[in-house]
Structures are given as C-alpha cells and as structure tokens.
Structure 1
Amino acid sequence: MNPARGHDPKAPEAPVREEAPPNRLIHEQSPYLLQHAHNPVDWYPWGKEAFLKAQEEGKPIFLSIGYSACHWCHVMEEESFADPQVAKLLNAVFICIKVDREERPDIDQVYMAAAHALTGAGGWPLTIFMTPDLKPFFAASYIPKESRYGMTGLLDLIPRISKIWQGQRQELEHAGDQVLEALQSEAHTPPGGSKLSEAILDEAYETFFRIFDGENGGFGDAPKFPAPHNLIFLLRYGNRTGKEPAYTMVEKTLHAMRGGGIFDQIGYGFHRYSTDAEWLVPHFEKMLYDQALLVMAYTEAYLATGREEFARTAREVIAYVLREMTDPGGGFYSAEDADSEGEEGKFYLWTKAEILQVLGEEDGERFSRIFGATDPGNYREQPGGRRTGKNVLRLRRPLASWAHEFSTSEEDLAWFVEGARRKLFVAREERGRPAKDDKILTDYNALMIAALARAARVFDDPEYLAAAERAAAFVLENLRLPDRRLLHRYRNGEAGLAATLDDYAFMLWALIEVYEASFSPGYLKTATELSRDLVAHYWDCSHGGFFFAPDDGDTPVRQKTAYDGAIPSGNSTAMYALFVLGRMTANLELEETANRIRHVFADAVREAPTAYSYFLTGLEFMLGPNFEVIVAGVPGAEDTRAMVSVIRSHYTPDAVVIFRPTDEEEPEITRIAGFTRDIVTIEGRATAYVCTNYACDIPTTDPDEMLRLMRSTQKPPEPVI
C-alpha cells in the first residue's frame, strides 16, 4: 500500500498499478517522497550522492518539488512519474531529485525565487532543470506528459533539453550563474535609507480598503486566500486608530469565510483557498498552518468585536485539529490531502440525494435549502465546466434569516442544523478519507501551539492550554539536538533536518503565548535560549536580518526576506517576538535586534506595505504605546484570577503580561525578568503595575483601574524609525 495513501484503514485501495522496484526514496520519512518511492524514475533525495552522480556523469539535474496535499503534484506523479516512457527519458537525460517543500522549505524557497526570476511565476509542483552544481536554467510548474493546450509535454521537452545541454551547455551554465548571482545579491543587499513611521500603517490600511471586496469579503478577485495575518493587522490598526472600516473589513471577511465552502461545514476546519470570489469552491486540502492562523484571527476578532460567531468558529477549528490532526504524542500533523479515491474533493462533496438519504425527505429538503444543495449541484470540476450534481455546502444567510422563513426560532433551527450536521458527519466517516500527511513540523506546530494558547486565555479553556503545553513539550523533547538546537521534522520516531528561521521564530512566538496563558516561567527561559541560537546561526552579521537557512546548511543560496506569504515570514515574526520577549525580560539586546530587522527591510516594506502585513503588526506594537503589565499575587487566589481575567477578556493587543507570584521569596520569574524582584502587593491583595517603556504608574488593586491606566496613556509624539 502506498504510504501516503494508506493512513486510514477505511480508505479503499487506490486503483492497482504495476509498481517499479523501490528507488532511493523508500528510505525517506516524508509521505510525499514515499508516494514516489515505487516510481520507475530513478529518484534521489536532496543530497551529496545525487550531486556527485550528476557531476561524474555530466548530466543536468531534474529537480521536482511538491508536497503531500498538493492536487497537481498527485496528477503529475500518476500521469508522468509513474509512466515507464517518461521515466526512461528522465533517467537517460537527468539525475532526478525529489524534494518535499514542507520538509525542505529552505530548498523550496531558493528555487521558487529562481522560478520567479526565470519565468515571473511559480507554483507547485515546481520543476527546475539545473546544472550539476545546482545552478537553475529552466523552471516550470505542472508539466503534462504530452503536449496539449499550448503546454509542452515532458515527452517533447526532455529531448529538446537534452539536445541543448549537449550543444549549448556553457550557455546554460552561464544562465544558471546569473540566476544564482541575482539571488545572492538580493539576499546581501545592505539596508536602504528608508525610515518607517506610522504613515506606513495608514498606507497599508488604505490599500486594503481600496482592494476590499465589499460584496463577498476578502481582498481582490479569485482565487482568494484566507491570509489571516492581513486581518490581524487590520484589527490592530482599527484598535489603534478607531477607524471603523478596518473592523468592518475583518468582520465581513471572517463571516463570509465561515459560511462559505472554504469552511468544512460538516467536519469543521478550513480548506486551503477558494477558487472563486465568493468563497464557494475551495481547493480542498487542509493545512495545519491555516487552521492555526485562522484560530488566531477569529479569536482576536471575537475579543475586538464581541461577536459570538467568531468565538464559535475558533472553537470549531480547534475541535477539528484536536480530532483529526493530533498525534498521540501531542504533536500536530501537517496536512490532509485534497484528493480521496483519486478525485479532488470527493470526501467533502454531497449530492442532494445523498443528503436526503441520510436525513430523510423533510429534514433533507430543509437542510439542502439552508446549505445550498441542489439536484444539478454547485460544483464544477473545472471553472465554466459542466455541473456534476455534487454540492459544496455553504451557509449564505444567517440562521436568523432562515428561521423567519421556516417560521421557527433561531435556537430551534440551530438545534436542527447541529443534529443534521452530526448525522451527515457520521455518514461521511464511512467514505474513504483523504490521505493525512502525518509528519510533525516544528514551524507548523509552533503556530498551532500559539493559537491554542491564545484561545486558552481568551476562552478560559484549560483543555486548550493542556494541548498547547503537550505539543510544546513534544517539540522541545523530540525536535532538539543534544546541543539544544532545533530540528525541523519528526516522523515515525525519527527527528531530522536542520531547523529554519521559521522554526525558531514561530517557536519564540509559541513560547511567549504559552507563558502568558500559563505563567510558567520556564517557557520564557526556553525562549531566551532559542533566541541565542537563532542569532548565533541565522543572523546576517554584515547587513542585519535573519537568513532563512542556518550558517551550516546545504542550500546554494541563503535567502533573506520578510515577505509575508501564506504564513507570516520568519523575519516579521522574529522581529515581533524578539521585541516582546525583550520587553518581558527587560533584555535590551533582544529589542535592539528587533529594531535592526525593521531597518533592514524598510525599503522593501515601503514599496509594497500590504505584502508585509505581519511585519506591520510588529511595527505597530513597536511604535507604541505598548505596556508591560506586571500582576503580583498569590497563584490561584480569587483576586489574582479577577485581575488576570480582566486583561484577558478585553482587547489589549499592545500589552504583555508578566505574573509575579508572591507566595515565594525568589520565584523563578525573578531570575528571568529581574525587574519583577521588587514587585510587591498592596496590603496582601493582587496588585497590577502598568508600565510603558519600563516606567510604571502607581500600582493598583482595582482591575478596572488597571484597565483604565492601559487605555488612558496618550500616544507619544510619532517617532520616525
């Protein structure tokens, strides 16, 4: 059984095909690589063996990069890499290397940048032709087996490349040199002269406002990606400025996504993106990082707006992750596939007849009306193609509107919908499930840990905190070397691969969030340790900023960027996390490192502010005013809980909270954040110190007064940074 498709014992076997003997990928851990382990292509994993073979035989390298949940990666594997005719050509002309982009994001980042340099575009599967010394001279995304629709197929392309390689090798090597030199130059560009002020926040807001889809929510036209960090920036900006449209854009987008087909209305969790402007038809894979970032966005939006819909959605996504994506050891799996039984979306789609069969005629008709299921169906396999009779379920109108139409109460209709959902969920579990990519990645796990810890604080849910702490313990116990440096990937009891900047930056973020949810000082201590390793192995000592790969990595170029793509960039996250950690521990060196990051990328941010939304979230915090709130009290005491609860139940994104237990003379926090040593209570009651730039107001025992102090501080004169 194919390892990538055999995770669920109920899943039917894939169509039988004659498999070649195993190639070198059979010894790998990645489910994506294992999917190719019986291809007739003579695949190598990334490494010296492949490079030396290419040099010895004078062959170019065929590099193919993808990931387990990628639909078109599966198509290319089944159509071409499993085909003996294509394999024979590939093996004759190239040394073939297969890379899982989630295992090796450092390699993916380099060659995706090369693809953009060569073609102006990119995507997965990513196909790169390069010299034996790893210089790329050709790039493409999906390539069909045979030429069609204006696309050159592999059967025609490979002989052409072979002929050019034999006759014009020097020109190809020169082209590869130019690409790598351009990437090297970009990574080592010294900081420009731009200064970032509050005006850059305004510019980003105005651009988001201009491209906002007022009808459907989201930004721009199809395809639409969730981009939760854009929404978090707008929430922070709205809180800072009082500009109501910032909140309105977030609320409409989050509401539309929750009701749309991008949300799994039966089993919860979000799909990767919407292929249309209305959030109806998704690309069906589910990524752990999307779940984590969307939990953060919905949780923060709930705090900012008080809308229960957002709290409920955050809880639903967490329920999905804890049910489907959690390893028994506490870590979280990476993704669920878009495909099942050889078809994209098959697990999630419903015919109206199937709904009626499960729910009965009357209830099925009512449910179908509410969730838009019709006999012709609303799902087309290709845009503009024929209707398939299948439906993506979505909730276009609030239940209150439907309740009026059905002459019932909203509460009764909600009970009906929930009961029907559960029945359909049970029925759907009998289907063949999409494959699960069960590797555990440090960066994705860190995002989920941070999301769970934040939700634990806001919803006062100890189960969420326990899950966050279990996962943090899993990463720190299983994904660190004896010298305490982080590793990137764990699967089947084996940890490996050098950590990236994202692994470190996101773990810093996660540990800060878990500290604020638990007040266990060890998390801040560990964060401080990781920050030292991060600076030691990733910092650009010449120009500042962090490289994505460590100083002892094996990539041909060390990339350095702050662009916030599907997830916040490592530099954006590190800037924010290091500044916050510096404030929490009074470590000015960490704050200065964060300040240097914002100078390094100032020119790039100024050119396209909305492409750096999480960077701007960090900048907003650093511009101030921001607060350090130190609560002194007896752990678990009623007055302590009341003080902390007030902070957690109000939207205070520019505050960090430190707890100083008073039932010990020298608690651990005083050794990590020395300024807490002299913090005392007033008359033995829980006491709050509200500080700005380490200057504290008169302490108070009144939670409401504490909140007033946090909100009454006037903005300082606008600094230029």
Structure 2
Amino acid sequence: MNPKHENRLANETSPYLLQHAHNPVDWFPWGEEAFERAQNEDKPIFLSIGYSTCHWCHVMERESFEDEEVARLMNEVFVSIKVDREERPDVDHIYMTVTQAMTGSGGWPMTVMLTPDRKPFFAGTYFPKATLVNLVRQVRDRWQDQRAELIGESDRIAEGLRQYLERSAPGDLPNDIVATAADSLMESYEPQYGGFGSQPKFPTCLNLIFLLRAADRTGKKEHADAALRTLRAMRHGGIFDQVGFGLHRYSTDVRWRVPHFEKMLYDQALAVMAYVEAFEFTRDPFYRRTAEEILEYVERDLRDEPGGFQSAQDADSEGVEGKYYVWTEGEIEQLLTPDEAKRAKRAFQTSPNGNYADEASGRSTGTNILELSQISHDEYTKLQPVREKLLKARYKRVQPIKDDKVLTDWNGLMIAAASQAGASFDEPRWTQLAKGSADFVLAKAKTDQGLLHIYAKGRAKGEGQLTDYAFLIWGLASLYEATFDVAYLRQAKSLAEEMIQGFWDSKLAGFHMVREGTEHLLARPKETYDGAIPSGNSVAAYALALLARLTGDAKLEETARKTVRAFGADLAQRPTASLGMVTAHDLLAGGQEVVVVGEPNDPATKEMLAQLRTTYSPRKVVLLKTPSNSEVLAGLAAFTSDLSAQDGKPTAYVCRNFACELPTTSPFKARSLLERAAK
C-alpha cells in the first residue's frame, strides 16, 4: 500500500477493490462515472477483473499497478476500471466469454480493453510489466491512428457476443442421456490417481455426485468406483489441508499433491455435498468423517460472527504462495514429542529435504506439503492430538487474508451442503450451521425489492442475480428437509416465484443471468456451463424440480422442464458441459415423495425418519406433517392435506410421482417401500 495515493476504490466494500485503493493507477469501480469519463475524455477503457484471493492478481498488482511508471502511462491512455468478479459475476461472465473466444483460454486477472461504450477489442489475462507497458503503447497508437478499424472490430465482437450469450438451443433430451453423459465423462477419467484429465486437476465435485446418481440409475458400477476413488484420493492428497481441513482450489499436478492453496467457500460446499452423497451411497464412515472435517473448517474459519459464511481464504501469506500451509521436518520435531513427530512424519509423508518445489522456478523450497498416508482408522484417531498441536502452532503464523464479504449465492450452496449433512448424519450441529446462515441471509439480503447479492462492511448491496435466487432456493429447500420448519419451505417457494418473474425468458425459455434493465451490460447472458460453480440455469432447474416434488406444484415442475428443454440440443451434444442440468433432468424423470405424519419429538417419529434416511434414494424428498404445522403445510403442499396418522402412531406415506402406497406405521416397512419405489 502506498499512502500517498488514494483512488475511488477507497469507498468500496469489496476486499479485492480495497486492495487496489492505494495504487497510483486511477481506478474507477464499474459504473456510470467511469463510462462518462471515458466518453468525455475520448479514452478507451482498461478493464481489470479479479478477486481478492487470486495469486496472479497479487503478482500483477505488485509488478505493474503499484509501479509509478506503469500507472502514469495507464492514466494517460485509459480510464481504468477494477471489478471484483465475485461482486459482479455478470460482468465477469460477459468478458470472460470474450477472452476465451479471442485467446482460446481464460483466467484471472482478466485484462480487457473496451471502447467507451463497453465493447471489447482486446482481451487477455496476466501480463508481466514489460509486456503490459508495450501493450498499452500499442493500444494508444491504434486508438489515435486506427480508430475506425478498431471500433469496427469491437462492433462485430459485441454483436457476436450478444447473440451467443442470449441464445437458446431447444430440444428434447434422449431417454439415455444420463448413461450417455456418464460414459462421456468417463472418457476423461484418470484411473491411476482419480479425477479427470491430467493437470491441473480440479475437484469437480458436482460431476462426482452425478456419477454416483448415474450408477444408481444405470447400475454401472464403474461410474460409482470412479467417483469414490477420486473422493478418497482428494482427501489423502495435498489438495486437502491435512492440519486445518478444507479443500484447496485445485491441484497443479496429476497426483493431487501440490495445490494452488487458496480456499473458496463454494468448493467446500460442493465437496461436502459429494462426501455426503458418497456416505449415503456406501455407508462408509470415511466419507462422513471427511464431510464433517470440511464443515469443521468452514465453521471455525469462514463463519462470519452473525452467522453468514465468508467467501474465501488467500493462497498467499507474507507474499509467498502456500507459506502458511507447508512444514519443515525441523518445525514438526520442535513442536512435538519424539514419538509424535515420528507418527506425524510417517502419516503425512514428509521428507527431510522437503517435497515442495517452487511452481515458477522448480527449485526445492525445503518444505513439505502434507499428504495423508493410507492408515487405519485407529491410527488416524491417534493422529488427532498431533494434528491439533500443529494447527495451534500454525495459527501463530501470519495467516492468509480472508475475503470477508458474504455472498448470497455461495451461502445458498453452503446452506444446502450443511443441511444435507445435518439430515444425513442426524447431526444438529450442521443443521444449526445451515440455519444460522439462512437466517442471516434472509435478514440482511432479502428486501421488498428482491434479493441483494453481497453483505460486506455492515451493509448489503448489489442487485441479486440468478445464482443468488437459485442457490438460495436450493439451500432453503434442503434446510426444510433437515429441520421440517415450514418457514423455510415458504421462503423457498416465494423466492422461486420471484426468480421466475424477474429472470425468465418468456420468448425462448430458460433464465437470464440478470434482470431486464440491468445497467451497463452488453447482453443478458443465459449461462448453462457448469464450471467450478454450477450455472444458474442448472441449479434453477434442479431447485425448481426439488421444490415441485416437495410441494406438488405443477407450475414449478413445468418451468423446470422448460428450462432443461431450452438448452436440450446443446445438452444432447455436450452433456458433460452441464451435468447439473442433466442431474435436474434425472430428478424430473421420476422420484419419491415421503410424508411422515407424527409428533416431531416422538421417538417413533424419529425412528421412522432415521430409517428413511438410511436408504440411498437421491431423488426422494421427505416432509413431516405435525399437528402444529398441518394447516400451513397443506397451504404449501396441498397433496399432504388428507394424509393422517394411523391408529395414533407416526405414519409414513411413500409415494412415487405422487402415487402413494398404503400408509404404514412400521419404520422398517416404510424403508422397504422406499427402496422398492426408488428402483
């Protein structure tokens, strides 16, 4: 930070923008002031998009944006705009699409040159200082000498971009789409170490959930085996924080050994969902333990005091990537008893000379990334006091910064994940974790005008986008199934109606990313690609299908079907690009509704629910009708109105596509009926 400089970013709440508030570059936030300045001064726009925990964003700032010479040149040539991609995923998506089209790849920091009316004519990612200086000079010369040609290029790019981003490709999906998608995904499966592709390897936990469900649907054991092997390999690898828990962003190598060290909330949420799904599929406690370890990290390190979840933790500390997480054997020996140190070095596979090499230079750092060896459950239990000593010592190091903004959509994912864990494990701790976030988001980010996207520095702001609605609906529906509090089901249904009203494409079907009238955008994208975060359309389709099954609302189900069909032609050709959408289609193809009628605190009711939850039936929903909620529940889910307890005992109604079996008061009979209905 240079205190003699202060630009307009000093008034922002985004940790990423505040990191650049004292650059000598005269940064503007995205908005009308910047665009008017560009028009009035007849300058092109330098658009830089990144996020607070991005390693190469930090590098480019140190090399270029803090440099007086570079800043002087940029201020002369451009109006410069900084965007936090997590605050404005719409802006990020539009210009990332441009970057990928123009360069064949993408990433952050993203660097895009625009005309004053926001049309792109150049795009790239990270540039070293010398390259950036040369690039700025070239743009200056073209803007002066070849303006007409450059504007013509930008017009063509903008028109093609608009057509691409707002398109639909309707079509019906083939009956075997689940099997076809799973087989297609398996073509890139890497069997030696698990995962897909070579390197870098991303967790892609949504894909692992899909493979387990595909195995259940098709009976192909190899699909489940691939998912389970990958989940085990990730837990044992360096991509998993063996001391503090939680998943790092991705592995730079094929063996899951060397991570890119940042930790993102959405990765934790999707990983919890995958490990919960694996536990339900196998009943193997390894997967439950891992899910709970990730939740422990989130609860300890990412939970905002009022209840929401913070966004991310940086890869860097003291300007060095990974420094916070790596260990020398000498440090381990100094902190532990001789026996403990021996156990730690063996369990975490350390080396006296270190196993971690600098990514850029390839030189050994002398430090170790900890990996977990294949040890027994008993050995793992004995390792815990050692791990806790290391964690306590690690907290005394300079910690990576945290991006403390609370994002509505990412919190929605974490609410869904913690709710699923709480219900599956019958663990109130995780249900309460989900409830705290849900109550916080509903109190702070839900207004009479709709959802807001961000809560930071004591205030909520930013118009809610499709992912805010879709992810939060998913979270609230999942929380209902964990708590059976009808208030969450009511909120989910109300938000679903708002989402359809505000984002639905009434001409071509599917959901736009932003509401109509959102300012300063070249297009209203309709995103379906499931990357590190599932797309808004994928989750909207899934959440509406889930909510339709919970409520029996045929309109919600029809909207979910129309969403899938709106992109059906593309899905049929490239199903692995949107496995979340295929998962939604799978749920729409048929599932089970179970209504338990009884007192919530009756041990017999609890036993009924416990038996129903021990069956792997990922397309089921469970509702609880009680004397105190029956009227409200009937208003939300009319099909429950005539269901009653038999002989004064807790009673289960097991239905398949709303056609119900005869009621039963036997928990074991209810489980048997569910297993039969799920086949």
TM-score range, shorter chain: over 0.9
Which residue number in structure 2 is paired with residue 667 of structure 1?
Answer: 631
Which residue number in structure 1 is paired with residue 115 of structure 2?
Answer: 131
Which residue number in structure 1 is paired with residue 599 of structure 2?
Answer: 634
Distance 1:26 1:567 in 2: 29
Q: How does 1:132-281 map to 2 (within 5 A)?
A: 132-146=116-130, 153-192=131-170, 194-281=171-258
Q: How does 1:329-344 map to 2 (within 5 A)?
A: 329-344=306-321
Is the Cα contact below 8 Å between 1:188 and 1:543 reproduced in 2?
no
Q: Which residue identity is paired with 2:136?
A: I
Deviation string, structure 1 residues 277-304 (Cα, Å, up to 9, x no partner): 0000000000000001101100110110
Which residue number in structure 1 is paired with residue 389 of structure 2?
Answer: 423
Which residue number in structure 1 is paired with residue 87 of structure 2?
Answer: 103
Distance 2:393 2:603 in 1: 46
The answer to whether the aligner puts 1:487 opposite 2:452 as a matched pair is yes
Q: How does 1:11-90 map to 2 (within 5 A)?
A: 18-90=2-74
Q: Which residue identity is paired with 2:602?
A: A
Question: Shift in Å at residue 605 of structure 1?
Answer: 1.1
Distance 1:432 1:288 in 2: 21
Q: Which residue identity is paired with 1:125?
A: P
Deviation string, structure 1 residues 307-333 (Cα, Å, up to 9, x no partner): 111111111001100000011100000
Which residue number in structure 2 is paired with residue 643 of structure 1?
Answer: 608
SS of 2:446 mapped into structure 1: coil
Q: Which residue identity is paired with 1:324?
A: D
Q: Classify 1:190/1:34 alpha carbon distance in 2 versus 1 (closer, same or farther; 3 Å).
A: closer
Q: Which residue identity is paired with 1:610?
A: T
Distance 1:551 1:328 in 2: 35
Q: Which residue identity is paired with 1:90?
A: M
Q: Classify 1:714/1:500 alpha carbon distance in 2 versus 1 (closer, same or farther; 3 Å).
A: closer
Identity of aligned residues (%): 47
Distance 1:630 1:366 in 2: 50
Deviation string, structure 1 residues 167-219 (Cα, Å, up to 9, x no partner): 11122212111222112212333434x32133221112112222211110101
Distance 2:547 2:281 in 1: 24
Is the Cα contact below 8 Å between 1:538 and 1:547 reproduced in 2?
yes
Question: Shift in Å at residue 667 of structure 1?
Answer: 3.0
Deviation string, structure 1 residues 345-375 (Cα, Å, up to 9, x no partner): 0000111111111124443234213212112
The answer to whether the aligner puts 1:593 opposite 2:577 as a matched pair is no
Question: Shift in Å at residue 434 of structure 1?
Answer: 0.1
SS of 2:53 mapped into structure 1: coil
SS of 2:187 mapped into structure 1: helix
Q: Which residue identity is paired with 2:492?
A: A
Which residue number in structure 2 is paired with residue 12 of structure 1?
Answer: none
Q: Classify 1:18/1:694 alpha carbon distance in 2 versus 1 (closer, same or farther; 3 Å).
A: closer
SS of 1:137 mapped into structure 2: strand
Question: Shift in Å at residue 233 of structure 1?
Answer: 0.2
Which residue number in structure 2 is paired with residue 7 of structure 1?
Answer: none
Q: Which residue identity is paired with 1:595?
A: R
Is the Cα contact below 8 Å between 2:655 and 2:677 reproduced in 1?
no
Q: Select which of 364, 374, 379 maps to 1:398.
A: 374
Is the Cα contact below 8 Å between 2:44 and 2:115 reproduced in 1?
yes
Q: Classify 1:245/1:188 alpha carbon distance in 2 versus 1 (closer, same or farther; 3 Å).
A: same
Which residue number in structure 2 is paired with residue 298 of structure 1?
Answer: 275
Is the Cα contact below 8 Å between 2:303 and 2:310 reproduced in 1?
yes
Is the Cα contact below 8 Å between 2:204 and 2:532 reproduced in 1?
yes
* Structure-1-length-normalised TM-score: 0.92
Distance 2:586 2:360 in 1: 40
Which residue number in structure 1 is paired with residue 583 of structure 2?
Answer: 617
Q: How does 1:311-326 map to 2 (within 5 A)?
A: 311-326=288-303
Q: Select which of 661, 672, 675 maps to 1:711.
A: 675
Distance 1:191 1:208 in 2: 22
Which residue number in structure 2 is paired with residue 371 of structure 1?
Answer: 348
Q: Which residue identity is paired with 1:37?
A: A
Which residue number in structure 1 is paired with residue 507 of structure 2?
Answer: 542
Is the Cα contact below 8 Å between 1:183 and 1:559 reproduced in 2?
no
Deviation string, structure 1 residues 26-78 (Cα, Å, up to 9, x no partner): 00000000000000000000000000000011100000000001000000111
Deviation string, structure 1 residues 629-651 (Cα, Å, up to 9, x no partner): 11111221121111111112221
Q: Classify 1:714/1:488 alpha carbon distance in 2 versus 1 (closer, same or farther; 3 Å).
A: closer
Is the Cα contact below 8 Å between 1:20 and 1:39 reproduced in 2?
no
Gap regions ≥5 residues in structure 1: 1-16, 147-152, 401-409, 716-721
Q: Select which of 97, 104, 116 maps to 1:120.
A: 104
The answer to whether the aligner puts 1:687 opposite 2:651 as a matched pair is yes
Is the Cα contact below 8 Å between 1:500 and 1:549 reproduced in 2?
yes
Q: Which residue identity is paired with 2:483?
A: S
Distance 2:651 2:183 in 1: 41
Distance 1:360 1:521 in 2: 53
Which residue number in structure 2 is paired with residue 353 of structure 1?
Answer: 330
Deviation string, structure 1 residues 533-565 (Cα, Å, up to 9, x no partner): 111111111100001111131222111021111
Aligned length: 678
Gap regions ≥5 residues in structure 2: none
Which residue number in structure 2 is paired with residue 444 of structure 1?
Answer: 410
Q: Classify 1:59/1:458 alpha carbon distance in 2 versus 1 (closer, same or farther; 3 Å).
A: same
Is the Cα contact below 8 Å between 2:486 and 2:629 reproduced in 1?
no
Q: Classify 1:394/1:195 alpha carbon distance in 2 versus 1 (closer, same or farther; 3 Å).
A: same
Which residue number in structure 1 is paired with residue 480 of structure 2?
Answer: 515
Q: Select which of 398, 417, 423 maps to 1:432.
A: 398
Distance 1:55 1:162 in 2: 16
Q: Which residue identity is paired with 2:460?
A: A
* Structure-2-length-normalised TM-score: 0.98
Q: Select which of 498, 510, 513 maps to 1:533.
A: 498
Distance 2:268 2:637 in 1: 33
Q: Classify 1:415/1:514 alpha carbon distance in 2 versus 1 (closer, same or farther; 3 Å).
A: closer
The answer to whether the aligner puts 1:501 opposite 2:466 as a matched pair is yes
Distance 1:676 1:586 in 2: 9
Distance 1:390 1:658 in 2: 52
| Of 71-80 and 239-248, the range deviating more from structure 2 | 239-248
Q: Which residue identity is paired with 1:170?
A: A
Which residue number in structure 1 is paired with residue 78 of structure 2?
Answer: 94
Distance 1:175 1:541 in 2: 32
Q: Which residue identity is paired with 1:470?
A: G
Which residue number in structure 2 is paired with residue 462 of structure 1?
Answer: 428
The answer to whether the aligner puts 1:580 opposite 2:558 as a matched pair is no
Is the Cα contact below 8 Å between 2:23 and 2:66 reproduced in 1?
yes
Q: Which residue identity is paired with 1:235?
A: L
Is the Cα contact below 8 Å between 1:339 and 1:345 reproduced in 2?
yes
Distance 1:705 1:233 in 2: 29
Distance 1:369 1:457 in 2: 36
Superposed CA RMSD in Å reads: 1.4
Distance 2:629 2:534 in 1: 40
Q: Which residue identity is paired with 1:399?
A: I
Which residue number in structure 2 is paired with residue 11 of structure 1?
Answer: none
Distance 1:376 1:712 in 2: 57
Q: Which residue identity is paired with 1:133?
A: D
Distance 2:468 2:25 in 1: 32
SS of 2:117 mapped into structure 1: coil
Q: Which residue identity is paired with 1:706?
A: A
Distance 2:463 2:531 in 1: 22
Q: Which residue identity is paired with 2:37?
A: K
